Amino acid sequence: MNLLPLKQLYNSMVDIMLADTGLTTQCSLVYDTTKLQQCPNCIYDSISKKSANKYKSGGPISFVNGQTCPYCLGKGITSSSMETETIYIALLYDSKNFIGSVNDPNIVAQTICSINYLDKFKKCSKIIFNTDIPSLSNNIFARYNEPQPVGLGDNKYLFTNWARL
């Protein structure tokens, strides 16, 4: 029995559902980073590799030259705390519609997306659902368990469970 036409139909239907204009929701993946950059408030001394403790014109917090920079505390560098990326994924909130056996009350959302998001989901620290609706500011979730690859033999999609932060 040739099941290839069934696989193709299944993949076609799921791909249509997951398209940006399909049944998807705009979300933001949030990555905690430790990207270092020079302090925007003081002049960096490249020899000592720290702040020269001199105010940089236009910096956010003025201070007297010679005092410790209040922005970076004399380090001369700051770290970015997060980066975000907008994605479109299918989102389920009602546990009755979750795919698979999900009996954990901590799991309050499930997403369906392309397997191409696997690395991004593993690296992100949290996800914000419905970012196209500004009044929903408390839609911040953390991945509850490992993303689960699924499909009809080819594992082209991911199911991921999320818990509220």
Q: What is the pLDDT of residues 14-33, one digit of tens each?
A: 999 998 888 899 999 998 87
- Name all domains of the chain by residue range, CATH numbers in brackets: 4-33+82-164 (2.40.10), 36-79 (no CATH)
Please tell me the distance from the alpha carbon of residue 165 to that of residue 45, in angstroms, as a whole number.
40
- The confidence score (pLDDT) of residue 162 equals 95
Q: What is the CA radius of gyration of the chain?
A: 23
Q: Residues with Cβ < 8 Å from 87, sequence gap 6 or more?
A: 26, 27, 28, 29, 113, 117, 120
Residue type, 115: I
- The confidence score (pLDDT) of residue 141 equals 92
Kindly list the distances between the CA atom of residue 163 and the CA atoms of 4, 35, 124, 140, in Å, as whole numbers in the listed order.
36, 27, 14, 9
Dihedrals phi, psi of 49, to nearest 5 degrees? 55, 45
Compute the average pLDDT of residues 97-126: 91
Q: How many CB atoms lie within 10 A of CB 46?
A: 10
Backbone φ/ψ region at 53: left (φ over 0), alpha (ψ -120 to 50), beta = left
Please tell me the distance from the alpha carbon of residue 11 to that of residue 50, in angstroms, as a whole number.
55
pLDDT in tens, 112-151: 999 999 999 999 999 989 877 777 666 789 999 999 999 8
Which of the 8 DSSP states describes residue 104?
-
Confidence of residue 56 (pLDDT cuts 50, 70, 90): very high
Q: How many CB atoms lie within 10 A of CB 132?
A: 12
Parallel/antiparallel/unpaired status of strands 36-38 and 50-55: unpaired
Confidence of residue 54 (pLDDT cuts 50, 70, 90): very high
pTM of the model: 0.69
Please tell me the distance from the alpha carbon of residue 102 to that of residue 119, in angstroms, as a whole number.
23
